[in-house]
Structure 1
Amino acid sequence: MSDSLFYCDIENDSKISGFISAFEEYSQKESKQAYIIKKALGTTNDNDYDYDDEAIILVPKHKIIVMNYGISDSKNFEHFLEDFTEDLGYLSDKFSYKKILGRPREWQKLITSEDFHEDMIDDISGFLEDKSVKSDDERKIDLLISLLIGSINDIEKLGLENPETLLDKVKKKIILFDGMQSRFIYEKVDKPQVVIQGLAGTGKTELLLHKLRETYIENKNSRIVFTCFNKVLADDMKNRIPRFFNFMKVEEQIEWDSRLWVFSSWGSQSVPNSGLYSYICSKYGLQFKRFSYINTFDKVCEDACEQLKLIENLEPCFDYIFIDESQDFSQSFFDLCSLVTKVRIYIAGDIFQNIFDMNIENSVECDYLLNKCYRTDPKTLMFAHSIGMGLYEKPVIRWLEDREWESCGYEYERKNGKFILSRTPIRRFEDVESINSIQLRGCSIDYFTEEILTCIDEIRQNNSTVSPDDIAVVFVGNTKNNYEIADSLMVEIDKKYNWEINKGYITKTKVKDQLFVSNTNNIKGLEFPFVICVETSKITDRIHQRNSIYMILTRSFLTSYFIVNSDNTEFIEIYKNAIDNINKDGFMKLREPDKKEKEEQEEKIKIMAQAKKKSVEDIINQVCKEDYPKLSRKYVIMLYNTIPTIIENESEEEVMTKTRGMIKVILGD
């Protein structure tokens, strides 16, 4: 697997292959992003140049270097330089970068040219030494690089002025695709399935959108599907794709349901375009099967595959299928997609969405592995993993094999009887001063509202430009006590700050200028500068609880506050020390469990996973789907809002009983 920091689209047998290899080695050794390209990525063949012995070298904080490895003083190379600068100016104008960059004459000084000679291979640092730019020009260079690699940023969000506060520096950081992300978008792979796996926060869905755009533009008559398991996510993507196409200045109109379909995986029998399975059943005349305890989605996909295989000379109905959140599907769904896809399936999934997934080894067998998390500060990610997996406890709750640690973006070594885990610094945080990204606070059960308000006060005091939608308060678990605290908190926030509240367990999304308050079930896919994670109960080795804490803590890209019941005395002591060590050393120094402990804990996880409880919302959805399929969305949302506040012990039977009772009241039965 190629390094994620370096990207090159020049053939290995070129005249500068030795220079390219040396530059890649330098990139890895110095942990610097670098790109060597022939022209702006993502542009059409119309943008090809007559001159072919050039290489465009891009390194953040350095001038754009255009290298000539052909004939010195060639007029054709000079013409190339003029054309290249003109094309870059066109891209700047097209994506409104000119508002910040100005006209080409104002940034042309940031482009330099150089003839290639063999001595460069032995001293890449020396080659770059006089190419550094002044600090005032660093953002301009990042913007120019983003245009050339197709990593287009929203100029309106970046603003015209250089950010001054820490919050604005991180929020307005110019995003650049790394080497692995660029390869996924631009490499031509001749195989029926292309699999991309990554950690949460590595930008998988964004990359799928870029690949979708490339495919839609390049293959004019293609039939393309974007699908995922969750209907809410599918509906969101149907709105998001046209916005993305508009943002990327795609000139072609989207031909819905003739060239591009976006729907969830299952769908309704009466509405073929409501789901991939329902469309396939309608298209090929298959028997549509509804959900039941017998007809799981895995089973209905198996049945559909068997029916399709009986059709002679089966003609695929799609050219490309894009599958997001692949971890939600079984193999039978991918088999079904293969039977109806002519050219290629792109599959994106999270290798570590559940830190207790025992199948990580198989998940990393993919074409593109994204293990650099650009959302969460590395120290926060280490802390979240340590709590989630109990890495500082005895016995540990979860331990990975060496290859699995690497696949999750860790570097490891065994030293003086300790297991050292560290993460490479990433660009989102390398340019800002050191931040206190993790805090752990104990709190007595009667003062959680006050402690949350204290955290908000500190955020406001230290970040003058903070807005309500920069903060999320997320409770672990759906207990009655948590909802009572949330209700009290909303009242106090309104009184103290005059802020509006976004009830995330209803909206399931961010709302501008509203503080997000929710539970674990509705935080997936969202990110905030500041997250306040609240656990009012006893912290045990329950895998659902630990995974929920991990997921909440990793939603922040500046600071995560973890407020826990002060009765968890030993837990607080262990992990306050862990925070101190992570902040001081920049890595985790752990006790590696012996083989017996690893095996015992692995078996324990398997047992607990099999007995895993469904969430309250999952149970509500199950009751509605099976017993009241025509219940309106308005009433389902009412159930989400009400049921958690009236249950006592969260047993599945109690939730089902209360849900059915509430529905009968709603319907007047």
Structure 2
Amino acid sequence: MLEGAKALTRTQKRPISDPNASPIAAALAQLEAEIANFDENQRRVALVDVGGPARIRGLAGSGKTVILAMKAAQIHMDNPDQKVLVTFYTRSLRATLKTLITRFYRHYSETDPDWEKIHIRHGWGSSSGPGVYADTSRRYNRSPMPLTEAQKSAGPGKNAFGWAVNDLIESVEIEPFYDHVLIDEGQDFPDSFYRLCYHLTKGERDKKKIVWAYDELQNILNVQMRRPEQLFGKDPDGEFRVDLDRSGAALALGASNDTVLSKTYRNQRNVLVSAHAMGFGVYGHIVQMLEGAEHWKDVGYEVHNEPIEIGKVVELFRPTENSPLDLIPIDNVPVIASHSAINFDAEVNWVTTEIRKFIAGGLNREDVLVISLDDRNAKGYFRAISQNLAENDISSNNIIADPYNEPPFSIPGKVTLSTVYRAKGNEAALVLCVGVDAVSARDRGGRNKLFTAFTRTKGWLRVCGVGANAANISDELTTAAMTAPYMRFVMPDPLVIDTIQRGLSDKKIKAKALRDRYLKDLKEAGLTEEEISEQLKVDVI
């Protein structure tokens, strides 16, 4: 089973006839070879069934989506008659999930999965298309509410999707429909959607097999991290529907229903550290911060000067073991680069020149992703960029050309053009972020857009815009890249910024501390990673 888990993450070997003539492609080929395996902790999370609700937290690129795909495939192999729901927020993620589930399932079977039993569904759906909310509405002879109607009914400043789902829950008695529910991009869903999923899942309260994965740092919708008790609400008897302490009370040492993935396998170490620095604003205007030193350790950093105190310098370091990927250095091809253009046309020319350079260096066209950070002018950017590329015989795939369907995010032979919202959950070897001048660097929503866009790359990052704001963000990014893999800043007063909650109960914090201490003791005793993994399996049994 573990070998199958490894097989799922392997990509086809990239043919390189002459590494000297295609240095960029050669560097990417080596990188993709390094990505081929998950660590033991991630495979264990994917393949262990805790018998009830479970939460998976992890940074961008830590394998949350792949873990859910593994789970779906394994459940279907072991229990082919059970119904499994895999749901997600970003429409373009559907194709990725289907590919991953199919690849893993086919490792053990000569047939494809039975898609009548595994439902890969967008959270909302559409008036005519499938989706968790749309499907459920139709089962109860209700027409799914269109976005415009939901927005009007919800009122200004309210979550239209949340309102529509809540209206459905209050109007009909939802019957269980699925044996397992797996939720990806959980940070973006409203509370009412979690409650809908709870009602759709078979089983008693603490036995409902609902697994949700999220990264609180990717929450573009600017909603603070929410605990399970808030997400799922209470039953009529006043008890919380989901309480991870309660449902996990009988789990053995080594098993957990609340997992934090600290290692990342998508981003280069310095790209991830730079993205965090930009997302928090540590070299500009700090808008948000993690809850404390233990929270930084959760996401894979070392804290060099504890305790963290207001007004004191904080130094963080990301060790290689938590970001193990490295590109081969290439002369005159930095991993991170930014540019402040004098006008729109100059920006478009800079972007297309970079794309042509990387393609000449051996990248395939589908390895390239352009993300517009300027929502208002995204169509204008993509029109100009696609025209410029076409003049150089390079085709493009404009994701936002069809906003109501789920188009494939990547098409062979075409450069992908996307907004940050459509890019979530996807990745590319080269990511170019345009329109950075439109981002408000003084609020959490703007900072989160930067973080999400930057962490779409598994290789190189390019950032550009026009004017003073673009120049300021470029300066920040340059500082971040030069300081990485360290991050240094003066700790601000938590009362004047947003604090991202760690989201662990006191009991979970104590349990995690005991587990971390146990793992440290095993390492100090001289056990290898494989021996530690075997020991943990024994403890679970």
Deviation of the 1:554 alpha carbon: 1.4
Correspondence 1:507-656 to 2 at 5 A: 509-535=409-435, 537=437, 540=440, 541-568=442-469, 569-582=471-484, 586-593=485-492, 595=493, 598-602=494-498
Which of residues 51, 57, 67 in structure 2 aligns to 1:197? Answer: 57
The alignment partner of 1:531 has SS state of strand
Deviation of the 1:512 alpha carbon: 1.2
Letter in structure 2 aligned against 1:391: V
CA 430–523 in structure 1, closer or farther in 2 if over 3 Å, else same: closer
Per-residue CA deviation, residues 119-151 of structure 1 (Å, 9 max, x unaligned), is xxxxxxxxxxxxxxxxxxxxxxxxxxxx37544
Asked if 1 retains the 8 angstrom alpha-carbon contact of 2:366 and 2:411, the reply is: yes
Which of residues 228, 236, 245 in structure 1 aligns to 2:88? Answer: 228
In 2, the alpha carbon distance for the partners of 1:396 and 1:437 equals 25
Answer yes or no: is 1:383 the counterpart of 2:280.
no
Which of residues 102, 108, 116 in structure 2 aligns to 1:243? Answer: 102
Identity %: 22
Per-residue CA deviation, residues 259-313 of structure 1 (Å, 9 max, x unaligned), is 33333345578x8x93434554565x5766635343654455446556776x9xx
User: Where does residue 444 of structure 1 map in the other structure?
Assistant: 342
CA 484–318 in structure 1, closer or farther in 2 if over 3 Å, else same: closer
How many residue pairs get matched? Answer: 439
In 1, the alpha carbon distance for the partners of 2:162 and 2:354 equals 45
User: Where does residue 639 of structure 1 map in the other structure?
Assistant: none
The higher radius of gyration belongs to 1
Per-residue CA deviation, residues 229-254 of structure 1 (Å, 9 max, x unaligned), is 456545x3685367335642324664
CA 362–559 in structure 1, closer or farther in 2 if over 3 Å, else same: same
Asked if 2 retains the 8 angstrom alpha-carbon contact of 1:449 and 1:485, the reply is: yes
Per-residue CA deviation, residues 307-364 of structure 1 (Å, 9 max, x unaligned), is 776x9xx7x4332222222223333333333334234222222322127846347489
User: Where does residue 348 of structure 1 map in the other structure?
Assistant: 213
Deviation of the 1:590 alpha carbon: 1.5
Correspondence 1:74-473 to 2 at 5 A: 147=3, 150-154=6-10, 156-157=12-13, 165-191=26-52, 193-229=53-89, 233-234=93-94, 236=95, 239-240=98-99, 243-244=102-103, 247-251=106-110, 254-257=113-116, 259-266=117-124, 274-277=130-133, 279-280=135-136, 290-291=145-146, 292=150, 293-294=152-153, 296-299=160-163, 301-302=165-166, 305=169, 316-343=176-203, 344-354=209-219, 357=222, 359-360=224-225, 362=227, 367-393=258-284, 395-402=285-292, 403-414=294-305, 417-426=312-321, 429-430=324-325, 432-434=327-329, 436-445=334-343, 447-456=346-355, 458-460=357-359, 463=361, 465-473=362-370
Asked if 2 retains the 8 angstrom alpha-carbon contact of 1:356 and 1:398, the reply is: no
Asked if 2 retains the 8 angstrom alpha-carbon contact of 1:508 and 1:523, the reply is: no
User: Where does residue 625 of structure 1 map in the other structure?
Assistant: none
Deviation of the 1:162 alpha carbon: 12
Letter in structure 1 aligned against 2:218: Q
In 2, the alpha carbon distance for the partners of 1:229 and 1:526 equals 12
Q: Where does structure 1 lack aligned partners over 5 or more consecutive residues?
A: 1-40, 43-146, 606-669
Letter in structure 2 aligned against 1:388: G
In 1, the alpha carbon distance for the partners of 2:461 and 2:5 equals 32
Asked if 2 retains the 8 angstrom alpha-carbon contact of 1:452 and 1:532, the reply is: yes
CA 172–588 in structure 1, closer or farther in 2 if over 3 Å, else same: same
In 2, the alpha carbon distance for the partners of 1:550 and 1:239 equals 26
The alignment partner of 1:294 has SS state of helix
In 1, the alpha carbon distance for the partners of 2:167 and 2:223 equals 27
Tell me the TM-score normalised to structure 1 length: 0.57
Deviation of the 1:383 alpha carbon: 1.3
Asked if 2 retains the 8 angstrom alpha-carbon contact of 1:151 and 1:177, the reply is: no
The alignment partner of 2:425 has SS state of coil
The alignment partner of 2:314 has SS state of strand
Asked if 1 retains the 8 angstrom alpha-carbon contact of 2:370 and 2:416, the reply is: yes
Per-residue CA deviation, residues 415-470 of structure 1 (Å, 9 max, x unaligned), is 79421122222587556545732112222115213322443355356x3x222222
Tell me the TM-score normalised to structure 2 length: 0.69
The alignment partner of 1:448 has SS state of helix
